[in-house]
Amino acid sequence: MATTPDLGKPVGVTLDRFIKRDQDSFPYATGELSQLLRDIGLASKILNREITRSGLLNLEGAFGAENVQGEAQQKLDVVANIRFKRALTNGGQVCALVSEEEPDLITINPDANYLVAMDPLDGSSNIDVNVSIGTIFSIYRRKSKKGSQVTKEDVLQPGRDQVAAGYVLYGSSTMLVYTTGQGVNGFTHGPTIGEFFLSHPNIKCTPDGTIYSINDGYWNEMTDELRSFVEYCRSQKLTARYAGSLVTDVHRNLLKGGIYIYPALPKHPDGKLRLLYEANALAMIVEQTGGKASDGKQRILDILPKEFHQRTPLFIGSANLVDKCLEMIS
Ligand code: AHG
Ligand code: MN
Ligand code: MN
């Protein structure tokens, strides 16, 4: 007798449908945030297409300019910035944008309610070698009145005021992971269908991790206390993993349990990673899964930013590992 072929897991909830359900759980939601999340989803699909073809389209390598932090921009950094800016402009829900690739605040639609801070493409050093890269985004509600000029104060809000945050990981599959403050959900892109599908509902980060992620090349520049923590990790037989793409490293540790560290170093006295568009979004995601994120002294989400491109040290991941690290370095 013929049997039904095994078609694998049934096609589940699309990102768009999930965003709508999420919206319905907020009684006064207007749909503006939902539209904004959909715009980010769309831009990431377009960027995903460019990334997967970059070796064929002469999109690899340096662009030939530097960003505001004096870092060499890669061509894909510039492409990613354009793609997201365009999608957010066309979507109409963003009053202003802070991007790693632009020195100043970019005003988009003064009549909109939301602000976005974003690292359009994270992990630039991995672009040309086919290692996973990412996009990181933070969404805030503006403080000033709709229609007025967006102010610096609108942007310089502590991470705890984020209304939503997330990242896209362009890896062996492409995933979008986001939160609106009610847990974290991950969506995997189905390349032949061109949709994100819910694949990782309600992600939880185990309190005790088995992975530590730090650039070992900085061993000689680390403080004695930090070196002691790394030695503790080794003594506990934790596994060392470091891709060099923040999104990749944090995503792996989120799913498997672990700690990611980018400390202050002599060449980066305030740390290398940026508070507004790298640390805050990942801190909100990780906290929402039960993990922790600190700059070594305080909770990342409690830092009051002073500058758009402010840097911070970052200790993030499984709660007990982060606590242990903070205890040993303080
Ligand atoms: P970006 O490509 O957006 O400039 O970020 C690169 C960051 C981050 O992704 C990664 O964790 C870190 O740089 C790696 O730095 P090191 O090479 O100093 O370890
Ligand atoms: Mn980055
Ligand atoms: Mn970047």
> pLDDT tens, 200-227?
999 999 999 999 999 999 999 999 999 9
Residue 167 shares a structural domain with residue 232: no
pLDDT for 50:
93
Q: Of 200, 219, 234, which residue sits at a domain end? A: 200
pLDDT over 80 at 3, yes or no:
no
Which helix (H) or strand (E) segment holds residue 267: the answer is none
State if residue 131 touches ligand 1 by the CB under 6 angstroms criterion: no
Tokens 């590992």 belong to residue: 321
Which atom of ligand 1 is nearest to 122's Cα?
3
Please give the span between the terminal C-alpha atoms of the chain, in angstroms, as a whole number.
69
In-domain check, residue 4: no
pLDDT over 70 at 6, yes or no:
no
CA of 249, nearest ligand number? 1
More confident residue, 2 or 283: 283
Question: Length of the chain, please?
Answer: 330
In-domain check, residue 10: no
Beta bridge partners of 312: 273
Mean pLDDT, rounded, of the chain: 94
pLDDT over 90 at 106, yes or no:
yes
More confident residue, 128 or 237: 237
Residue 190 shares a structural domain with residue 217: no
Least confident of 53-62, 79-88, 93-102, 290-299: 53-62
Of the candidates 165, 155, 102, the one whose C-alpha atom is nearest the C-alpha of residue 134 is 165
Using a pLDDT cut of 90, give the percent of the chain over it: 85
CATH of the domain at 68: 3.30.540.10
Residue 68 shares a structural domain with residue 163: yes
Least confident of 24-28, 123-127, 144-148: 24-28
pLDDT over 90 at 71, yes or no:
no
Residue 53 shares a structural domain with residue 32: yes
Residue of 122, 241, 249, 260 to test ligand 1 pocket, by largest number of atoms within 8 Å of CB = 122
Number of domains, the chain = 2
In-domain check, residue 249: yes
State if residue 246 touches ligand 1 by the CB under 6 angstroms criterion: yes
Residue 183, sorted as left (phi over 0), alpha (psi -120 to 50) or beta, turns out to be: left
In-domain check, residue 266: yes
pLDDT for 2:
62
Banded pLDDT at 4 (limits 50, 70, 90): low
CA of 120, nearest ligand number? 3
Q: Of 154, 180, 200, which residue sits at a domain end? A: 200
DSSP assignment of 37-89 equals HHHHHHHHHHHHHHHHHTTTTT--SEEEEE-TTSPEEEHHHHHHHHHHHHHHH
State if residue 123 touches ligand 1 by the CB under 6 angstroms criterion: yes
Which residues form the domain of 231?
211-329
Q: How far apart are CA 18 and CA 320, in angstroms?
A: 31
User: Model-level pTM?
Assistant: 0.95
Q: Of 155, 175, 200, which residue sits at a domain end? A: 200
